[in-house]
Every structure is written in structure tokens, then in C-alpha cells.
Chains A and B, each alone.
Chain A
Amino acid sequence: MSEKTSIAANRSWAARLVVLAPYAWLIAFFLVPFLIVLKLSLSQTALAQPPYTPLFDLSAGWQGLKDFLSGLKLDTYALLLSDSLYLTSYLRSLEIAAASTLMLLLLGFPVAYGLARMPRRLQSVLVVLVILPFWTSFLIRIYAWINILQREGLLNDTLIALGIVQEPLTWLATDTAIYIGIVYSYLPFMVLPIYATLEKMDESLLEAAADLGCPRWKAFWLVTVPLALPGVVAGALLCFIPIVGEFVIPDLLGGSGSVMIGQTLWIEFFGNRDWPVASAVAVMLLLLLIVPLMIYQHMQAREPESNR
């Protein structure tokens, strides 16, 4: 019997270890770096190496800690709120993220729906096709878009050849280019979660709806859409959150007129070498994104098994 309990004890230890591993990972590579960034955001810039104060001096003991804490200030956050540059940057990021998430949804849902209704054998092939672009580097694909969208690029050539336009249009360095780039890059993140929920949907539910007097188009709204909702929410969050912080796409395809928050952060960090303000921008961005995540969490908690 003692042997049995020791096996059980071993097992529970192993189980605990397995649970602990991801937490350890998150603490080491998320929480600790976040605390460093948080501390940085409360510092001031300095012409030094590293370019900020205060620095924590272990050798000074208690006095050192007190000096360190008194050196932390909220100046950077005051700046973020007072200078409209940051506010517009945040708002622009949210606007672009919201608009492109909507576009992704309008485009992604029909794709996922069509995919889920294909014959089984075709489905797996088509899913691979959806993921296929990931096999090429993201950066290379965005550069390819530069090529397509430039003045003498593929898009203008095609439009002129088809006689739709006479003169080449300006695509690059416009918001349209940003939207094209974002929708192109994030489409799989919208399609796959929606496909996953639609694919496991019981076909007989639609038959039951028809049997109870509900025409097909109505059953789509009354049955299919509500059941796909968890996938829609997951897809929207998977797109919205990274798009808000997107840097590469607006930087390479967009104009210089107004910048997204990711670009602002980059400028502060590398251009101005203002690590504290850059850190404050990052912390604020994180707080901004936690809100939709909490809403999602709340929805999940409310209906834990709604789609079994």
C-alpha cells in the first residue's frame, strides 16, 4: 500500500511539475521583462549608458533602495497624456485594428463557411492552402506586396491591361496599402478558428431547424451564426490584438503622415533613444489590450461548455 501511495505522490508531483512549467516560462519571459519595462517607464532619460536613471545600486544597501524608489516618477505618463501625438497614435492604431478586423471577419467568415461545407477530403487540402503562406517569411511577403503595389507594379499593370484605369494609381504609402497588407497577413488567423467551430457543427442541427419550419437562410442566422460565435470572437481577438501593435506592415506599406502606436514606440526607442517614454507607451498599450481580453475571458467563463 505504501508503494501505491508513493506512486500516487510521484504522479501528483509530476502533474504539478507539468502545470508549473508554463508558469515558470511565463514568469521568466513575460512577468520579469514586463516588470523591467514597467520600471523603465517610471525612470527618466539620461545621457548615459544605460540611457536612464535611477539605477538600482545593491552595494548601497537600504539607503540605495530608498534613493532608487524616490527616483521613480510618473513623468513619462504625464507626457503621454499631455502630448496629443501619442493619443492620436493610439486612436489610429485602434481604428485601423477595428476596421481591418471587421474586414477580416467579412472576408474570413464566408471562406471558413465554404471550407467547412466542402467534401471532407478536399477540406484538409484547402486548410493546408490557407496555412501555406506561413511557409514563407512574413517580411518577404510584405516586400512582395511592395512590389505588387508600387507604381509600375503588378496591380497597376493589371488594372491598365484590363482597361479599368488609364493612369497608374498610387497604392503604396496609403491607408489602402496598410489594409491590404493587414487583411492579407491576418486572414488565416480569422479563418481557422471560425472554420474549427463550423467544422464540428452537427449537420443535423440545420435539418432540425428546417424540420421545425425554418428556411435555410433563416437557419443560418438562428443556428449557424450563434454556434460559430466562439470562433468569431477568438478569430477577432487573434487579429485585433496584434494588429493594434502592428509595426512592420504600416512601416513598409503605409505613408509617413500618421503613425500607428507600434511605429511611435519604435521611434521613441531607436530614434529618440528615450527608453522611459518608449516603455510607458508599451505599458499603456498592454493595459489597452487587456480590456478586450478580459471581456473575452468573461464571456468564456459565463458559458464554459456552451458548444459541446
Chain B
Amino acid sequence: MDRIPGFEGGMTADAVSSKRPKNDGAGASAASRNNAARPLVRFEGVTKRFGEFTAIERLSLDIREGEFFALLGPSGCGKTTLLRMLAGFETPDEGRILLDGADISGVPPYRRPVNMMFQSYALFPHLTVEGNVAFGLRQDGLPKDEIAARVSDALALVKLAGLAARKPHQLSGGQRQRVALARCLVKRPRVLLLDEPLAALDRRLREETRFELADLQSRLGLTFVIVTHDQEEAMSLADRIGVMDHGRLMQVGTPPEIYEQPNSRWVAQFVGDINVIEGQIVSIGADGMLIDSAAAGRIHLKQTPQAEPGGTVWVALRPEKLRIALDPPASTEANCIAGQVWDIGYLGDVSVYKVRTDGGLEIKAAAANMTRLVERPITWDDRVWLSWAPEAGLVLTR
């Protein structure tokens, strides 16, 4: 399907220019920067309490026109509450929510140009697929033939053209998900909100649907805000990710920024797997810094954070950036820790080695399984050396 019938009207010039390959951090951030001038949605110091519990605490966030924004966090972090405030189901106790520059705090959900796809899909069981998709347009009082045309376009878009007369209970989980999506898209919302849209699908379907969703978003040029607890989903779909915990935004950035430059131990540990080694700064020079760790010795890093010598910092190392070997590294450039393998997690494509170092640390190192291993080159209780280049590690000050 090259043409997107019925949706041309809803596309803006900005949106067309935002067509880009997904999963490419550089491209995504460039596209986002183009639109940086104009936030479509703005949260200004928003606070939401449920009784004693503070769900959202003085949160400010800009979401740009045409971007795919993911709210990522553990369950109970407030991400769904934030989405529901945008949809109008919850009102903020403090602060303002702006859409296109206008405060929408007092606008009821049925008058907001925003549509939400529910985690449960919330399809009307008594209506057909067609009835479900047409529901929103009928509320707007559009003429019958326009409704019919837009509904069939939307159904074609999500590849459900032949199933218009079915009832929701006659559909598979994946098809129901598409109906829910079509029901939102057909309204051409300014912002499409997706609450854990793929959570109810099985793994294979989830991956397929993920690509379709990304493709749809870039073709339609709509602004998508997705809530998810699945970091893989956030990383692969979003232009930018907002990582949340306890009602606060911990970090906002592109997927590579979040993964490679987390701003805190919490973000580093929440997104992906990471080893954290505590140490004190010995010196900071032009070629990087030297850190002294009680458990891991001297660590050399090519990074100069804003910190004073003597201060406590944490060295963060992704398992895949560590090299594991049975011999000490030849290069004196690299950082190195010796230890003993005490557990191996075989994942097929990679193996994760848990190494207990001489200093008592537990470090994970991942190595691609490049050959079909019948006999493991490295096995339990082997003495190994973990090494990494000065560029591989990251210094975190909090």
C-alpha cells in the first residue's frame, strides 16, 4: 500500500518530512530537531495526587508535532496517569497541560482532539467492526457517505477490509488490536495516545505489529504518545523516550541517548543490563579521568564529567561492551578485572557470563556466540579477565 487513502488531508508538511527509517537514532533526532520550535503538547509543572499517593510530581514535558514519544517506566510510575490526563480522564491537581498552546485542563475528553487506544482495546462488544470504527465519526455528526468512506479507508489501512461485519468476539487478539487502532486513527486526532498497545499480543505478533505501528506513524505523520513498560518496545518505536519513576521524569532523550548516556544509575539500570562499580575520582586530565575503586582497582575512562577529584562516582559498563577472555589482555590501554565464572546464561545468540571478581564484585559480560559451540571455550569456574576500552565505560555522578 503506497497510497494512504483518506489520510492526505490530515498530513502536514512537517509530517511528510518526518518520514525516515526507524530504529536509527541519528535520523530520528534530526527529524525531531526540525520540529523543536513548536511543542504540540506541553506539560507545565503538572502534579496529580490520588488521596495520599502522588502519582505525578511537578512534571514538565514538551512533546513535538509529528514525533513518536514513548513514556517508559516500571508499573506504578505514573506513566498511564500522565496519558490519561492528556486524554482528559484525569485532571491535574496543579500545573497546566497545553495542546497547540491552549490550556486543555478543563476540556472534557469528548471535546479533545486527542484519541486513546486502550490497553484492553475497549471495543464495543455489541457493535460490529465497522460500527466500532464509525462510532467516533457518528458522534461528530458527519454525513453518512463521508463516514462510510473514512471507515473503509481506515479499515484498509489496518488491513481489516474484509472483516467489517464481524463482531469483536469473532476476531483474534491481533485483529482486535487493529480495530482499536483504526477506531482512533479514523478520527484523525492531533495526538494519538497508546496505552501499552502491544502488551496483550504474543511475542511474534508483537514484533510484527511494532514495525507496522512505526511505519503507520511515519506515513501518517501523526503525533503518537505511547506508554510502555517494555524498553525494547520504547527503543524500537520512539523518536524520544521519557523514562519515568515515582511520578517524575528521570530522563528524556532519543533511544541511543537513553541507552548510551543515561544520566543516573537508576536510568542506566532500568534501561538494559548494566554493571555499576563504585569508585573515587583520582584525577581528571585532558585524556580522561582516573578512578580508584576499592573492589576493581584503577579504572581509566575517556570522559570528563563535571566532578571534583575525590568525589564518589559510579562507573557504568554495559555487558556487551566488556571483553571476556581466558588470558590477560595484551594492551595496557584497556581496563581489566580478573575473576572467576560462576554462572553462564545461554541465550542462543549471546551468552551472558556472570563473573565474581577478585575484589568481590559480580560483573556480567555478554559475548556473541560466533561459532556453534559444542564445547564452551569458557566454562564454569574458569579464571577469566574482563577488559574494556576507556571509551566503553560511563561515569555517573548520581
CA distance A214 to B115 in the complex (A): 12
Pairwise interchain contact A212-B167, C-beta atoms closer than 8 A: no
Pairwise interchain contact A306-B139, C-beta atoms closer than 8 A: no
Q: A205 is contacted by which of B108, B115, B124, B187 (Cβ under 8 Å)?
A: B124
Q: Which one of A212, A223, A229, A305 has the highest number of Cβ atoms from chain B below 10 Å of its Cβ? A: A212
CA distance A229 to B124 in the complex (A): 14
Q: A223-B124, A306-B169 are in contact. Are A212 and B115 (CB under 8 A)?
A: yes
Give A203's nearest chain B residue, CB to CB. Answer: B122
Q: Which one of B88, B135, B140 has the highest number of Cβ atoms from chain A below 10 Å of its Cβ? A: B135
Chain B residues contacting A211 (CB-CB under 8 Å) are: 87-88, 109-110, 114-116
Q: A207-B109, A212-B183, A213-B139 are in contact. Are A202 and B169 (CB under 8 A)?
A: no
A interface footprint on B119-137 (CB within 8 Å = 1, 0 otherwise)? 0101111100000000110
Cβ of A208 under 8 Å from chain B: yes
CA distance A84 to B118 in the complex (A): 61
Cβ of B89 under 8 Å from chain A: yes
Q: B109 is contacted by which of A210, A218, A222 (Cβ under 8 Å)?
A: A210
Chain B contact patch, size range: 20 to 34
Chain A residues contacting B111 (CB-CB under 8 Å) are: 213
Pairwise interchain contact B109-A227, C-beta atoms closer than 8 A: no
Chain A residues contacting B88 (CB-CB under 8 Å) are: 210-211
Q: A306-B169, A308-B169 are in contact. Are A212 and B136 (CB under 8 A)?
A: yes
Q: B110 is contacted by which of A210, A223, A229, A308 (Cβ under 8 Å)?
A: A210
Cβ of A173 under 8 Å from chain B: no
Q: Which one of A213, A227, A305 has the highest number of Cβ atoms from chain B below 10 Å of its Cβ? A: A213
Q: Which one of B123, B126, B135 has the highest number of Cβ atoms from chain A below 10 Å of its Cβ? A: B126
Pairwise interchain contact B135-A214, C-beta atoms closer than 8 A: yes
Q: Please count how many residues in chain A sit with their CB below 8 Å of the partner chain's CB atoms.
A: 22
Chain A residues contacting B89 (CB-CB under 8 Å) are: 207, 210
Q: A211-B116, A212-B115 are in contact. Are A227 and B126 (CB under 8 A)?
A: yes
Chain A residues contacting B109 (CB-CB under 8 Å) are: 207, 210-211
A interface footprint on B68-95 (CB within 8 Å = 1, 0 otherwise)? 0000000000000000000111000000
Q: A210-B110, A212-B135 are in contact. Are A202 and B187 (CB under 8 A)?
A: no
Pairwise interchain contact A202-B126, C-beta atoms closer than 8 A: no
Q: B126 is contacted by which of A212, A213, A306 (Cβ under 8 Å)?
A: A306
B interface footprint on A172-207 (CB within 8 Å = 1, 0 otherwise)? 000000000000000000000000000000101101
CB-contacts of B347-370 with A (<8 A): none
Pairwise interchain contact A204-B122, C-beta atoms closer than 8 A: yes
Least CB distance from A209 to B in Å reads 7
Chain B residues contacting A88 (CB-CB under 8 Å) are: none
Chain A residues contacting B110 (CB-CB under 8 Å) are: 210-215
Chain B residues contacting A305 (CB-CB under 8 Å) are: 169
Q: A204 is contacted by which of B120, B125, B140 (Cβ under 8 Å)?
A: B120
CA distance A229 to B127 in the complex (A): 13
Least CB distance from A213 to B in Å reads 4
Give B195's nearest chain A residue, CB to CB. Answer: A204
CA distance A307 to B135 in the complex (A): 18
Chain B residues contacting A215 (CB-CB under 8 Å) are: 108, 110
CA distance A227 to B167 in the complex (A): 14
CA distance A223 to B109 in the complex (A): 16
Chain B residues contacting A133 (CB-CB under 8 Å) are: none
Pairwise interchain contact B135-A227, C-beta atoms closer than 8 A: no
Cβ of A292 under 8 Å from chain B: no
CA distance A8 to B158 in the complex (A): 46
Least CB distance from B109 to A in Å reads 4
Cβ of A71 under 8 Å from chain B: no
Pairwise interchain contact B125-A213, C-beta atoms closer than 8 A: no
Pairwise interchain contact B122-A213, C-beta atoms closer than 8 A: no
Q: A204-B118, A207-B109, A210-B110 are in contact. Are A308 and B139 (CB under 8 A)?
A: no
Pairwise interchain contact B169-A213, C-beta atoms closer than 8 A: no
Cβ of A226 under 8 Å from chain B: yes
Chain B residues contacting A213 (CB-CB under 8 Å) are: 110-111, 136, 139-140, 187
Pairwise interchain contact B108-A210, C-beta atoms closer than 8 A: yes
Chain B residues contacting A205 (CB-CB under 8 Å) are: 122, 124
Chain B residues contacting A204 (CB-CB under 8 Å) are: 118, 120, 122
Least CB distance from B176 to A in Å reads 12
Q: Which one of A208, A214, A229 has the highest number of Cβ atoms from chain B below 10 Å of its Cβ? A: A208
Chain A residues contacting B122 (CB-CB under 8 Å) are: 202, 204-205, 207-208
Chain B residues contacting A202 (CB-CB under 8 Å) are: 120, 122
Q: A212-B135, A306-B169 are in contact. Are A207 and B118 (CB under 8 A)?
A: yes
Pairwise interchain contact B120-A212, C-beta atoms closer than 8 A: no
CA distance A282 to B246 in the complex (A): 70
Least CB distance from B194 to A in Å reads 12
B interface footprint on A282-308 (CB within 8 Å = 1, 0 otherwise)? 000000000000000000000001111
Chain A residues contacting B167 (CB-CB under 8 Å) are: 306
CB-contacts of B159-192 with A (<8 A): 167, 169, 183, 187
CA distance A306 to B183 in the complex (A): 20
CA distance A144 to B152 in the complex (A): 62
Least CB distance from B89 to A in Å reads 6
Q: Which one of B111, B123, B124, B183 has the highest number of Cβ atoms from chain A below 10 Å of its Cβ? A: B124
Chain A residues contacting B124 (CB-CB under 8 Å) are: 205, 208-209, 223
Chain A residues contacting B123 (CB-CB under 8 Å) are: 208
Chain A residues contacting B116 (CB-CB under 8 Å) are: 207-208, 211
Beyond the given A212-B183, A213-B140, A305-B169, please list 10 additional residue pairs across the A-B interface where CB-CB is below 8 A.
Answer: A205-B124, A208-B122, A211-B109, A211-B114, A211-B115, A211-B116, A213-B136, A229-B126, A306-B167, A308-B169
Interface residues of B, Cβ cutoff 8 Å to A:
87-89, 108-111, 114-116, 118, 120, 122-126, 135-136, 139-140, 167, 169, 183, 187
9 shortest interchain CB distances as A-B pairs: A212-B136, A213-B139, A208-B122, A204-B122, A210-B109, A226-B126, A308-B169, A214-B139, A210-B110
26 A–B pairs (Cβ distance < 8 Å), ordered by A: A204-B118, A205-B122, A205-B124, A207-B89, A207-B118, A207-B122, A208-B123, A210-B88, A210-B89, A210-B108, A211-B87, A211-B88, A211-B115, A212-B115, A212-B135, A212-B136, A212-B139, A213-B110, A213-B111, A213-B136, A213-B139, A214-B110, A215-B110, A227-B125, A227-B126, A308-B169
